[in-house]
Structure 1
Amino acid sequence: MDNGNNERIVGYFIEEAKEHLETIEKGILDLSSAVNDEESINELFRAAHSIKGGAAMLNFNSISKTAHRLEDAFKILRDDPIQTDQTLESLFLKAYDILQDLLERLQGPLGLSDDEGEQIMETAEPHFVELLNYIQQLADGEIPVPSVTSASVRASSPSLTAIPSDEVVSQVRQVLQQMLVIFKQDATPSNRQQLQTICDKLGQIAPTENGWQNLIKCAKQAIANPKHSYRLLAPVVIKEVKLAGDCLEVGKGSEIAPSQGLEQLAYSKLPQVLISVDPSIAAETISKIFNREQISKLVNLLQATH
């Protein structure tokens, strides 16, 4: 297989894996509902299974093994419906972050070496053991106790807010779950107003953090633009608020800042369009959005930039 074909196949895998990651993240943020819905939990299981299979085919062993561990966790939830709690959601989100980190490294300019992947897996293994043990204890009807290691890490993390760090994260995720429920509905003026009210609640969580306040302001502004669809807004807003909440948890509020993409959504007067880096997929997207005259003008503009 030549390098061109190999790069194309890896690109397809990354694009597909990102879609599955989005499914997994949304499911974890709404875990209490997902575990009570057979189709939702099956969807999470299939998403992890698909990433595992694709990564194994391309010999990305660390990604395949990580997705496999998540798949095992979702299998327990699928076979033994349980009552979720905040600790379980936090454990799942940490597992998701590990898988996301591996995929982002793979997509980066240096790629993901086997040694780097194995090192990340070795570091992450105790976390997956804790996750699987915690789920199994819940499934067996026991009252699990978080590991001393995890508890001490959370307790020792400095916080720049008046609210304890673990409470901040809990509040952020609860509000994100409310936001996600609305994003699944039709984009009505009333719903947009509810989402903006939710943004106000988020702002109150860390009132002294300027970076947090700026990010929430951008999110609220983006949501207020009726030209932006929920399909466009949801993945951007949910991900950025979640990551910012993680920064608050470990006392890194000074590092919080809205991405360029969120700022564009907040202050653009025109509807935004997300286009894949793959030329064939980008062409298909453009053909669905623009008419022939608009496409002709776009081609002329692109030619003029070369």
Structure 2
Amino acid sequence: MDNGNNERIVGYFIEEAKEHLETIEKGILDLSSAVNDEESINELFRAAHSIKGGAAMLNFTSISKTAHRLEDAFKILRDDPIQTDQTLESLFLKVYDILQDLLERLQGPLGLSEEEGEQIMETAEPHFVELLNYIQQLADGEIPATEPVTSASVRAASPSLTAIPNNEVVMQVRQILQQMLVIFKQDATPNNRQQLQSICDKLSQIAPTENGWQNLIKCAKQAIANPKHSYRLLAPVIIKEVKLAGDCLEVGKGSEIAPSQGLEQLAYSKLPQVLISVDPTIAAETITKIFNREQISKLVNLLQTTH
């Protein structure tokens, strides 16, 4: 297989894996509902299974193994629905964050080396065991023996991972994000956008004295207000950033909260935003679907003059 073709296949894998990640994150954020809905839990199982299979085919062992752990966990929930709790959601989010971290490294300029993947897997192994043991204990009706994991301990062990919710503030953020997800799944109407903006107002009230939090929520609200931005574009950006910011609030790191460049662009841009893959072939396909011939010609000329 030539190098160009291999890069193209990896690009396709990453794009597909991102969609599966979004499915998994939404399911975990609404885990209590998902376990009671056969189609929802099957969808989570299939998403993890697809990432596992694609990664195994491309020899991304660490990604494949992490997705496999999630697949095993979702299989238990699928075969034996249980009463979920906040600790279980937190443990699921830890493994999800490991998988997301691995995929982001793979997409980065340096890629994901086999050695780096092995190191991450070694650090993550206790998280995998803890998740599966906790699920099994719940399924068997035993009193869970594991202690709740705090955000502080997770950040200390692995700074690249998202903090784990454990207190009232983060619970509030999670519950409000679940309300947002319900609306993001619907058609984008003016009334829906107003509802989402009202939800942003609720979020801002959680930490009224934290300037970083207030600025981030303001950007989210403004991005939602722009009718040219689709929910498909808005949802993954806003959900992820608000979740991460809520985790910062919990561990007293509100000063570190700031909207990403992408969120700021969504907030202050008057033009519709388009997500373009780093893979040139996929990017070209996206551009040809969105722009007409004249616009593409102008884009080519602009690219030539800037290099």
In 2 relative to 1, CA 155–262 (structure 1 residues): closer, same or farther, beyond 3 Å?
closer
CA–CA distance in structure 1, aligned partners of residues 163 and 131 of structure 2? 29
CA–CA distance in structure 2, aligned partners of residues 222 and 198 of structure 1? 13
CA–CA distance in structure 2, aligned partners of residues 250 and 278 of structure 1? 37
Q: Per-residue CA shift, 1:127-160, capped at 9, x if unaligned?
A: 111111111222223343xx57889779999999
CA–CA distance in structure 2, aligned partners of residues 114 and 162 of structure 1? 26
CA contact (8 A) 1:161 1:209 kept: no
Q: Per-residue CA shift, 1:10-41, capped at 9, x if unaligned?
A: 22222221121111111111212211221211
User: Structure 1 segments of 4 or more deviating over 4 A?
Assistant: 147-165
CA contact (8 A) 2:90 2:165 kept: no
Q: Per-residue CA shift, 1:232-252, capped at 9, x if unaligned?
A: 111111111111122223322
CA–CA distance in structure 2, aligned partners of residues 138 and 43 of structure 1? 22
In 2 relative to 1, CA 170–136 (structure 1 residues): closer, same or farther, beyond 3 Å?
same
Residues 126-141 of structure 1 mapped to structure 2, 5 A cutoff: 126-141=126-141
CA contact (8 A) 2:20 2:47 kept: yes
CA contact (8 A) 1:161 1:206 kept: no
Residues 1-306 of structure 1 mapped to structure 2, 5 A cutoff: 1-144=1-144, 166-306=167-307
CA contact (8 A) 2:20 2:48 kept: yes
CA contact (8 A) 1:187 1:230 kept: yes
In 2 relative to 1, CA 61–157 (structure 1 residues): closer, same or farther, beyond 3 Å?
closer
Unmatched 5+ residue regions in structure 2? none
Partner SS, residue 286 of structure 1: helix
Range 105-114 or range 167-176, more displaced: 105-114
In 2 relative to 1, CA 164–47 (structure 1 residues): closer, same or farther, beyond 3 Å?
closer
CA contact (8 A) 1:173 1:242 kept: yes
Range 91-100 or range 290-299, more displaced: 290-299
CA–CA distance in structure 2, aligned partners of residues 167 and 243 of structure 1? 15
Q: CA deviation at 1:174?
A: 0.8
CA contact (8 A) 1:159 1:250 kept: no
* Count of residues in correspondence between the two structures: 304
Q: CA deviation at 1:164?
A: 10
CA contact (8 A) 1:160 1:253 kept: no
Range 272-281 or range 23-32, more displaced: 272-281
In 2 relative to 1, CA 233–292 (structure 1 residues): closer, same or farther, beyond 3 Å?
same
Range 189-198 or range 276-285, more displaced: 276-285
CA contact (8 A) 2:94 2:164 kept: no
Q: CA deviation at 1:304?
A: 2.9
CA contact (8 A) 2:70 2:95 kept: yes
Q: Provide the aligned C-alpha RMSD in A.
A: 3.4
Partner SS, residue 165 of structure 1: coil
CA contact (8 A) 1:159 1:165 kept: no
TM-score by structure 2 length? 0.89
Q: CA deviation at 1:96?
A: 0.4
TM-score by structure 1 length? 0.90
CA contact (8 A) 1:28 1:89 kept: yes
Range 36-45 or range 217-226, more displaced: 36-45
Unmatched 5+ residue regions in structure 1? none
Partner SS, residue 148 of structure 1: coil
Q: CA deviation at 1:214?
A: 0.7
Identity %: 94
Range 5-14 or range 241-250, more displaced: 5-14
CA contact (8 A) 1:157 1:165 kept: no
CA–CA distance in structure 2, aligned partners of residues 23 and 160 of structure 1? 19
In 2 relative to 1, CA 162–87 (structure 1 residues): closer, same or farther, beyond 3 Å?
closer
